[in-house]
Structure formats: structure tokens, C-alpha cells
Chain A
Amino acid sequence: MVQLAPVETYHAPVSLTECLECLAGVEDNLVLLAGGQAIMPLLKNRSLRPNVLVDLSGIAELRRRKIEADGTLVLGAMRRHREVYDDPLVRTGWSALADATSVIGDLQVQNRGTIGGNVVFGTVLTDLKQVAMCLDASLRIVGRAGNREVSARDAFGDAAHSLLAPGELLESMAFPAPPPGSGSAYRKFGITTNGRPVIGVATSLTIGADGICTGASIVIGGLVPAPCDARIAAQVLIGQSVDHEVIAHAAKAAAEEVKPQSDGRASAAYRRQLVRAIGQDALNDAWQRAIGTS
């Protein structure tokens, strides 16, 4: 039998207010359980030995999904991966988000794991950071001292940025309405099927009626210390009449723009190859979707 270290207290708050009260005073020896699929192994091998566990799954406010008047999609941080990719509206409007949530772990992980947990959990090797950056998401953070908003690009693009202060929680993520004629996509390569990304590429393209690209974003994850917003590669597309050749050229530029690390999972050179190959596929997907909607 494998057991966690003994836990003194388990809280399952049913509201945000109650939850923030639970967080008061015991921050240093407390673990928040979102979906638990990434943190449970650390509890079981006792890398983490919290006195207090706070389970967020009973808080209805964190599970919400709303379309605001201006078309912004707001997803509560405890929205589960499968709820996200099963959502027809997400699939059509924010395809990169649907792509990414459907390749995070296996079905059981997708049933349990949450979008908030994926971005808050302390590793850079996640899928949704690059997607949130690419889709220009903003993060709503709540705490007893007050609420604040931070853009995903600021929060995840800079490794020195610490997302949450003690006693704070990620409440939701807001994805602005995609402009007309746009499409987005996500592709990744992991060591095992749906494993953590060795490289993961999120793309978004806006194509005018004349076939000219008016907006492009390519954000690459799986990199240390933070995902790379490949602006030079995106510029290769903007103003161009998009075709397979332009896309191949942009993917090559992205591979040159990143500064990949070498580690036990892949060499820097191989990571560049992945950026080029996966980037090309992800750009093609986004392009096809953009044409389909324009």
C-alpha cells in the first residue's frame, strides 16, 4: 500500500468565500486539490507533506462557463478538460483550447483534471499556458486582499512572474471572442501518447476575405523556463497570401526563433525539428479553420 503522509485536516468548501477563509493562516503547509491528477503522485511519494488539504471541487463558482455580452468565453478554473473539449462552442470558437484539453493525459485524467490546475501546477511543461497566451486569455485571481486580472502573456511568458501570492486562487480564465475569419489549433509531441509536451505549439490565424493574413500568433511550449511567443515567425505570415509554402516558411522561422533546452527527453536540435514539424501542422489546422469560418 502506498499512502500519503498523515493529513490533519481536510476542507471541502462549497463557496469561494468559505475557501478563502480556509486559506487564511495555514498557507505554508497547505495543498489545494484541483483535479489532483498531477499533484497526487507528489503527495503519494511524500515530496509534499501537507497538514491541510483543501479540495476545490465542491465550489460551483469555479465550475462555471459563461459567454459574456462581448463574446468573451469565461471558464472557471475548476472546469475539467473533458467538459472543455466536449463543449461545441469551444470546439468551433476556441479550437486550440479544445485541441489541447483533448490531449492532456488519458480519458480518466481528462475527466478529473482541470484547466486551472494545469496552468497553476508548478511546472512549465504543461499544455494550456501556451494556448492561453496564444488566445490572449486573461486570468482572474481572487484573494482576501482583493481581486485582480493578469494577462496570460504576462503571467506565463515570463518565468520570473509568480502567478499567485499566498492566500490567492485562480478563479477563472477569460478567452476573448475570436475575430471573424480566424482559426486556432494546438499540436504537441510527448514521450508517451498524451504525455507532457516535449514541444507543444499553439497557433492562431486571422485571414481576410482576400486570403491575406491579418493576424497571427504562434506560442511554443515545452521550453524552459517559459513558453516562447514567436513574434518573428508570426510576422512571416502577416500581410501574406497564406498557402502551404508560407506556412512552411513560418514554421521554419519559429524553429529558429526558439531557444530550446537539451534534457533527458529531447536534445535542443530535436526540439527545433519538432517546432518546425508540429508548428507546420498546427498552422495548417488553424489556416483551414480560419478559411472555413471566413
Chain B
Amino acid sequence: MEKTISVTVNGRVQRKTVPIRMLLVDFLRDELGLTGTHVGCTYEGRCGACTVVLDGNATKSCMVLAVQADGHRVVTVEGLEEFANAPGELHPIQNGFWERHGLQCGYCTPGMMMTIFDILATNVREGSPELTDEAIRQSLVGNICRCTGYSHIVEAVQSAAAQLRGMDPEERAAWFDTAKLEGTRS
């Protein structure tokens, strides 16, 4: 009925005994108190607000069991600030949302940011080519914003991508290097 798991969340190893049926989203919110990961729909996997980055890939944390994350790496919205070099410095994704007014009520924002983390990490790996608005919209199909603020969210992604393009390749990659996160926090 229960299993002891060890999950690296935002660079910290979290060892807990949890029920097999516990969803990853509930593990993050209720066991670890990381309430930045939201539940927008009734756990049907429709809204994307609970999206986290699991082993580098945007994943809906209500569609995965906590036991399935055993031995894996999870980054939540709280993890974004950990990539910064100085306290108070924003991740380019956060900065993009700030610059382009990418959030209104903010409920979908954590999920949006973590899907965008995957999109931009991929973009950086490919050498930061220009992203089309259409490609960004296509990648965000699984994240619903009921304020319907999509235009500003797309602009926020473009803003973040442009910031990254202005950096040298090493600096760019560092914003998505989850292994670095573990180095600073162990």
C-alpha cells in the first residue's frame, strides 16, 4: 500500500514514504508544501496548471504517481529562482512574464512557466533559433488560461527567448541545467 521513494525536487533529495495511489501533484503540494504547482481542473489532466518538469520534460503532475517519480528529477515553479546567480535575480522565463505582462490572475502561470521551460530548454539546445508564435502556441496547447491572456503569454515566451539569445551559449544553457541546481543545494 505504501512505498518509500526518493525524488530530487528542485535540487534537493526528498525521501518519503507515500501511498502508492498518491499523485505526484499531491506529493509536491501536501507532502513537500510546494503549493506553487496548481490544480486547475479536477485532476482530469485537462488544464496543465500542475505541469512540472520531470527529467527535463514538461509533465502534468496529476497524470503521474509519486512512486513513478522515484529516482527521478523534478523541477517545479519554485525551482526557477534556484537557477539565478544572485538572490532576487529572475529566471529569463519569469522576466519575460514580468516584461510582457504574461499573467493576469496567475492561476495557470506555474504550469505555463514549466511548459515554457521545456520549450526554451529545447530551443537553447538547438542553438536558439527564432521561434514562431505559431510554434509557441502549438507547444502551449496543453496549458489553459481562463483569463484568455494568451497573446501576452506568447509575447512573454518571445521576450524570454530574446533574452537568452543575447547571452553566450554557456550562460544560456546554465538557466536550464538541472544538475547545476543539485550542485548548489547539496
A interface residues with partner B (beta carbon < 8 Å): 1-10, 12, 33, 36-37, 40-41, 44, 53, 55, 57, 82, 105-109, 111-112, 193-194
> Can you offer 18 A-B residue contacts whose CB atoms are under 8 A?
A1-B43, A2-B42, A3-B23, A7-B1, A7-B19, A7-B21, A10-B65, A10-B67, A12-B67, A36-B63, A36-B68, A37-B63, A44-B43, A53-B65, A108-B59, A108-B63, A109-B45, A112-B63
Closest-CB distance, B95 to chain A (whole angstroms): 22
> In whole angstroms, what is the CA distance A161 to B7 when docked?
41
Q: Contact: A193 with B141, CB < 8 Å?
A: yes
Whole-angstrom distance between the alpha carbons of A57 and B54 in the complex?
13
- On whether the beta carbons of A194 and B58 are closer than 8 Å, the reply is no
Given contacts A37-B45, A105-B142, contact A3 B51 (CB under 8 A): no
Does the CB pair A55–B57 fall under 8 Å?
no
Is residue B3 within 8 Å, beta carbon to beta carbon, of the partner chain? yes
Judge if B20 is at the interface, Cβ distance under 8 Å.
yes
CB distance from A52 to the nearest CB of B (A): 10
Contact of B58 among A5, A12, A37, A111 (CB under 8 A): A111
What's the minimum C-beta distance from A6 to chain B, rounded to whole angstroms? Answer: 6
Are A112 and B21 interface neighbours, CB within 8 A?
no
Which one of B19, B60, B70 contacts A6 once the chains associate, using CB atoms below 8 Å? B19
* A88 CB, min distance to chain B CBs, angstroms: 12
B44 touches A112 (CB 8 A): no
Q: B82 in the interface, Cβ–Cβ < 8 Å? A: no
* 8 A Cβ contacts from B44-58 to A: 44-45, 48, 51, 54, 57-58
Specify which chain B residues have a CB less than 8 angstroms from the CB of A36 in the assembled complex: 63-65, 68
Task: Out of A2, A6, A55, name the residue touching B68 (CB < 8 Å).
Answer: A55
Q: How many of B's residues come within 8 Å of A, CB to CB?
A: 33
Is B21 touching A107 in the complex (CB atoms < 8 A)?
A: no
Beyond A4-B21, A107-B58, whether A112 also contacts B64 by CB under 8 A is: yes
Contact with A along B9-50 (1 / 0, CB 8 A): 000000000011111001000000000000000111100100
Closest B-chain residue to A192, C-beta based? B141
Known interface pairs A10-B3, A112-B57; 18 further A-B residue pairs with C-beta atoms within 8 A, sorted by A's residue number? A2-B23, A2-B43, A3-B23, A6-B19, A6-B20, A9-B20, A12-B67, A12-B68, A12-B70, A40-B45, A40-B63, A41-B45, A53-B65, A55-B67, A107-B119, A107-B141, A108-B48, A112-B59
In the bound complex, residues from chain A placing their C-beta under 8 Å from that of B45 are 37, 40-41, 109
Which residues does chain A contribute within 8 Å of B139, judged by CB atoms? 107
* Known contacts A108-B63, A112-B59: A41-B48 contact under CB 8 Å: no
Query: Which residues of chain B are within 8 angstroms of A111 by Cβ–Cβ distance?
Result: 54, 57-59, 118
Instruction: Determine whether B115 belongs to the interface, using a CB cutoff of 8 Å to chain A.
Output: yes
- Candidates B26, B59, B141; contact of A1 at CB < 8 Å: B26
CB of A108 within 8 A of CB of B142, answer yes
Query: A106–B63 contact, CB under 8 A?
Result: no
Within the assembled complex, what's the spacing in Å between the Cα atoms of A202 and B43? 33
Q: Are B51 and A108 in contact (CB under 8 A)?
A: yes
Binary interface encoding of chain B residues 111-137 relative to chain A, with 1 for a CB under 8 A from any of its CBs, else 0 = 000010011000000000000000000
Q: Which A residues are CB-close (under 8 A) to B42?
A: 2
B31 CB, nearest partner CB in chain A, Å: 12
Residues of B within 8 A of A2 (CB): 23, 42-43
Contact B68 A33 (CB under 8 A): yes
Query: Does A194 lie within 8 Å of B141, measured CB to CB?
Result: yes
Q: How far is the CB of A141 from chain B (nearest CB, A)?
A: 25
Answer whether A6 and B59 are a contact pair too, CB < 8 Å, given A106-B142, A107-B142. no
A3:B59 contact, CB within 8 angstroms: no
Chain B nearest CB, measured from A204 CB (Å) = 25
Residue of A nearest to B44 (CB): A41
A7 CB to nearest chain B CB (Å): 4
Closest B residue by C-beta to A55: B68
Nearest neighbor of B139 in chain A, beta-carbon distance: A107
**How far is it, in angstroms, between the C-alpha of A36 and the C-alpha of B66 when the chains are bound?**
13
Asked, given contacts A108-B142, A111-B57, whether A10 binds B26 with beta carbons under 8 Å apart, the answer is no
A5-B57 contact in complex given A10-B3, A40-B63, A193-B141, C-beta closer than 8 Å: no
- Alpha-carbon distance between A105 and B119 when the two chains are bound, in angstroms: 16
Could you tell me if B20 and A10 are in contact, using CB atoms closer than 8 angstroms?
yes
Q: Which of A7, A41, A108 has the most CB of B within 10 A?
A: A108
| A-chain residues with CB within 8 Å of residue B22 when the two chains form the complex | 3
